Structure 1
Amino acid sequence: MLALAAAIGLCAPTIALASAQARPAPTVSSAAAAASPAYTTSVRTGVGLLGGTTDTGNHCGSYDDWNNTSPCTTPLQFPFPVKFYGKTYTSALADTAGNIQFGGDATRTESDTCFPDPELGPAFAVHTGYAMQTAEKPTFGIFTGVHGTAPHRTFVVEWRAGLAGLSFDDPYAEWDFEARFVEGSSTVSAVFGDSYENDLGPNDTWVRTSPAPWRGSTAVQDGLGHSSGGCGGTPAKGTEVTFTTTPTAPTVVEENGAAVRYSGTWRAGRCGSSTCSPGNRQTSTSAAGARATLTYTGTRADWVASTGPNGGKVGLYVDGRFVRTVDLYSPTIVDGRVFAGPTKASGKHTLTLKRLSGRLNVDAFRVR
């Protein structure tokens, strides 16, 4: 049925989620990287399809289709930025077999395997059963729709498909299901419309998440409670499975981490209170023009420092652009103060601290 990110197979309707890591962008070993956000799942019933109205042009066959057509992928352009596993996307690919791929371009080549499918990359997937195709009937295809008004829109990708090789006068060979993306949110969901059994056996459905490609992955979560080794059962019409981002703890980069670079004269010291970072160290400077720069991969980096009578003013920059001036003065010493950086699109960034006056100190950074 549908998969958001890698793919879905043919063994039953399945909803699975895995972060897109196919064709990974080059990484720099000195950059601090934030962990991918996890997802929690919830299931409810009695939910109607919103439906798609725009035909994407995906009218393709399947691996074992009798009309000798093949599955295919079709580009999707999102009407708003879509967040998936901590990354932001403006486009993706929809596959005949019921999946949306972020970063990969693959089609199903077998009709009898369930997720995780080793042939495909990472994904959020809703798996339909067997050899799905969108070519047999003029009403079949992949359709998109935008519901609501900005900034509260929902983008829908709907599959109207059938089982390859059966007589399509038989309604028991057809499926209707959709994936939903919510504007300004990392929430993704799958909703089942008609999902019938047929003479080849029951359609099995499951919803799974994984922050890694399916091949060899052990971090797979199933939204319908099925074991990782097989397919599930047929979901009732109106079943919705929703994936919601679970906030993850920030990655702490100590002041002496490999991702931090200093210019000017700095002095190492201790930070002994319970509010200091776990390393109980900090480094400080009173040198004119001294700087500290963190290179990180994520959406935001926060700076942890102490304020006190000798604290000065500090210029905070992200990706070389001035953000604001931070004042580290306070009548008494206060350790463990957190100064938040701005939220940016997920990717590689720099956060720079420039001493303007008084004393500048660095306890740690927190990357999200």
Structure 2
Amino acid sequence: MSDVFIKFFLLGLVSFGGPAAHIGYFKRRFVNELNWLDMTAFGGLVALSQVIPGPGSSQIGFAIGYHRAGLLGGLAAFIGFTLPSFTLLLLLALGSANWLGESWFNGLIHGLKLMAVVVVFDAVLSMYNQFCTKSIAKILMLTSAVVTLLVGNIWGQLLILVVAAGIGIFCLAPKSLNGGSDGRGNLSFTLVNVKWLALFGTLFITALVLLNSQHPLGQIFAQFYQAGALVFGGGHVVLPLLEMSVGQHIGSERFLTGYALAQAVPGPMFTLAAFLGAEVFSAKPVIGALVATLAIFLPGFLLLLSALTVWQGLMHRSQFRGAIAGINAAVVGLLLAALVSPVIASAIYSLVDLILVLLGFWLFKRFRLNILWLVLGYSLVGVMFGLIG
């Protein structure tokens, strides 16, 4: 468990770039380097994270920790990966951000956004090479990217995943699995874990009741739990839900400040809850941040635990593997769309920005640089450009 915590804590210190980049970090570290799980199992976890509500990359990290060391391993992975960004956003909410308007800090944020373009592009390219080897998978990937960019809402994304799964069943299902089985033999697997699903439902009903509570902590738990339970697609998608509830208490300007800071720190975007929770419950900001953060992550983890055992069993079925192959191809398209908007759209404003991204990507691939070198290089370049205007 301590080994899981340390590995994820070190990743949490440098995991800039959002969910798309986090998937790339996890694949590189836990599949390629440590061999904690193979690519098939990793792809299954990626697909599962796309079809249940909650923070996708954090759910993958939790599942990897669970695979390695059980429930405590999952908790260790979550705490380790989330702790750096939680701490930074809490400190910023507590008032140690008097330099937010400084030119050097704005330059630093811009430099980190340029680094995010490099990391996300590398993640998209890596997953494309892994999941889009067949023509039908490439078509699904491109269609997913185009539809996502044109439609731009969560229902369109869900429809893409459902259609991709159906096409995958008929066009991408392997003819045989390991050992020559066609996946239709006498395979047994555990059904949905009812206790976790029941806990999820009980807390969801409790959150509905607490929405009208006079106690601020009860309202915080209710608002953030509902947001985590209803959102598909990660951090950016959760913003409208939180803005409609929490944003009314702290003001839109402060809300958007928290959002910008959440993009500038490493780790999951959902730790925006730490900033917002501290702002809403200003009497005891640390408690407010803890309640909000736990509430927004909890529903996704409970649903993951509910589905994990049946998901692993289904992975032995040929047609189910085909559905997952279709979903994975569509996910690559979703990540490609995310690379275009908001990652590139919010980072590259000039020819100089484009050159810095291309140079960074070439150095990253040519010399297989550690992510820390990218963080340092783009931070220094960003600060320099910020100071000289």
With normalisation by structure 1, the TM-score equals 0.23
Higher share of residues assigned helix:
2
Larger Rg: 1
After TM superposition, the score normalised by the length of structure 2 is 0.22
Question: Structure 1 or 2: larger strand share?
Answer: 1
